[in-house]
Amino acid sequence: MILGIQRPMKAIAVKPGTPNSVHMTELPMPAVADIEEGKGVLVRVLKVGVDATDREINDALYGNPPAGYDFLTIGHEVFGVVEETGANVRSIKPGDFVTATVRRPGGSIYDQIGTYDMTSEETYYERGINLRHGFMTEYFVDAEEYIVKVPQGLQHLHVLMEPMSCAAKAIQQAFEAQQRMKVWRPERAFVLGAGQIGLLSTLVLKNRGLDVYTLARSAKGTLNSEIVEGLEATYVSTRETPIEALVDQVGKADLIVDATGHSGVAFDAMNHLGHNGVLVWTSITGGERAVEIPSDKINIEWVLGNKLLVGSVNANKSHFESGIRDLALGEVMYPGVLQRILTNPVDGFENYQELMRLLVEEPTALKVYMNVSE
């Protein structure tokens, strides 16, 4: 940063309420002094990832601007380098690679103890998504408590930190909820969906020692199936082997993670969970589809089998940290596999239209991201 010069910086934003409004705009340059008590961290943005949430925000399905603005800066998967820190910042120093949590606290008790991902309020504040500007800017500033250090040795996995935090949280929630039993020794997991959350969930479950089956429609031979196999999990093409057939072969699962973005699949998963098992829903389905389900059958099986369903959204700093440890272990166990998720880079703010085009139109894209600066 050139100190003393207050130039505006570039930002990529949408006009909430107006479909396909993504555009380039400007914001004032932030400063560490914007954050109270000497706790500010100024970050130079290196890369920003996009996902289905950004697509749906640009489709004006949801997303709200911060108070006083008619636009919302997008971007919630950030990787950057610390430029400057406030006088009372201890855990991070200039030159460190970092990412940032997405949600900011509201007023509930859960928000006040650092677990803002569990807010009990209807309104939630998420950078780049709802009521707070995102990270698709040249710089951003935030308080130390929302900044997460990324180890040097994981810098090549940059924008995966945020999606990883969501996978790490979802699985941790499942394990914590299972403490309802004196012992829980899960052996077999099904991961439904082989997009970024499905793949990262596959890794977390492998790290926990489970026998993991990752299910998706495509026949084997796609990048997705190669990544699953690279993680030493079993890829199952549901076109060839529907989930019923898999259950016939290997039995029901102790844990199922749904990451398909398809509510019909999320509900159908209820038919394939074993006794004392837990089903975690991580994805959401925009739309108004309605499916018919065998409700009597599910009802009796779930009661007689003590089964549990958990919904999971977002992540707090502790999940970013545990997710980063999972990535580190993943790199040691399966070197070079995880970076294959990072499929589609786009260079520079000027190419924001190309970024959105890849996100919407490129079926083989696993992760689309912007290289903001070097």
By the rule CB under 6 A, 53 interacts with ligand BGC: yes
Among 42, 48, 50, 51, binds ligand BGC (CB under 6 A): 51
By the rule CB under 6 A, 262 interacts with ligand BGC: no
Instruction: Report whether 194 contacts 343 (CB < 8 A).
Output: no
Dmax over CA atoms of the chain, in Å, equals: 68
- Interatomic CA distance for residues 2 and 190, integer angstroms: 51
Contacts (CB under 6 A) with ligand BGC, residues 85-144: 102, 126, 129
The total of other beta-carbon atoms located within 10 Å of residue 362's CB is 12
Residue 209 gets the label, from left (phi > 0), alpha (psi -120 to 50) or beta, of left
Out of ligand BGC, Zn ion, none, what residue 313 binds, judged by CB under 5 to 8 A for its kind, is ligand BGC
For residue 137, the minimal CB distance to ligand BGC (Å) is 18
- Tell me, residue by residue from 44 to 83, as one string, x for binding to Zn ion by CB under 5 A and - for no binding: -------x-x------------------------------
For residue 266, the minimal CB distance to ligand BGC (Å) is 16
The number of residues that bind Zn ion (CB under 5 A) is: 2
Out of Zn ion, ligand BGC, none, what residue 129 binds, judged by CB under 5 to 8 A for its kind, is ligand BGC
- Interatomic CA distance for residues 357 and 57, integer angstroms: 14
Q: Cβ closer to ligand BGC: 73 or 178?
A: 73
φ/ψ of 91, rounded to 5, equals -85, -10
Q: Cβ closer to ligand BGC: 260 or 314?
A: 314
Strand partners, 13: 23, 73
Q: Is residue 3 exposed (0-12), middle (13-18) or buried (19+ Cβ within 10 Å)?
A: exposed
For residue 236, the minimal CB distance to Zn ion (Å) is 25
- Tell me, residue by residue from 167 to 206, as one string, x for binding to ligand BGC by CB under 6 A and - for no binding: ----------------------------------------
Q: Cβ closer to Zn ion: 236 or 257?
A: 257
Out of Zn ion, ligand BGC, none, what residue 169 binds, judged by CB under 5 to 8 A for its kind, is none
Out of ligand BGC, Zn ion, none, what residue 196 binds, judged by CB under 5 to 8 A for its kind, is none
Out of Zn ion, ligand BGC, none, what residue 126 binds, judged by CB under 5 to 8 A for its kind, is ligand BGC
By the rule CB under 6 A, 76 interacts with ligand BGC: yes
Residue 266 makes CB contacts below 8 A (sequence gap 6+) with 192, 258, 260, 281, 283, 285
For residue 123, the minimal CB distance to Zn ion (Å) is 19
For residue 129, the minimal CB distance to ligand BGC (Å) is 5
By the rule CB under 5 A, 117 interacts with Zn ion: no
For residue 127, the minimal CB distance to ligand BGC (Å) is 9
Find where tokens 């909820």 sit.
Answer: 177
- Type of residue at 279: L
Quote the distance between the C-alpha of residue 246 and its chain's center: 28
Instruction: Report whether 38 contacts 88 (CB < 8 A).
Output: yes
By the rule CB under 6 A, 314 interacts with ligand BGC: yes
Helix (H) or strand (E) holding 243: helix 243-250
- Interatomic CA distance for residues 253 and 187, integer angstroms: 8
Q: Cβ closer to ligand BGC: 146 or 213?
A: 146
Find where tokens 């250090």 sit.
Answer: 149
Q: How far is CA 295 from CA 267, 270, 292, 303, 324, in A?
A: 10, 10, 8, 12, 39
By the rule CB under 6 A, 312 interacts with ligand BGC: no
By the rule CB under 5 A, 222 interacts with Zn ion: no
Contacts (CB under 6 A) with ligand BGC, residues 337-366: none
What pairing do the DSSP bridges indicate for beta strands 97-100 and 211-216? unpaired
Out of Zn ion, ligand BGC, none, what residue 102 binds, judged by CB under 5 to 8 A for its kind, is ligand BGC
Reference 166, options 199, 134, 137, 190; nearest CA is: 199
What pairing do the DSSP bridges indicate for beta strands 273-281 and 253-258? parallel
Q: Which residues bind Zn ion (CB under 5 A)?
A: 51, 53
Interacting residues with ligand BGC (CB under 6 A)? 51, 53, 76, 102, 126, 129, 162, 166, 313-314
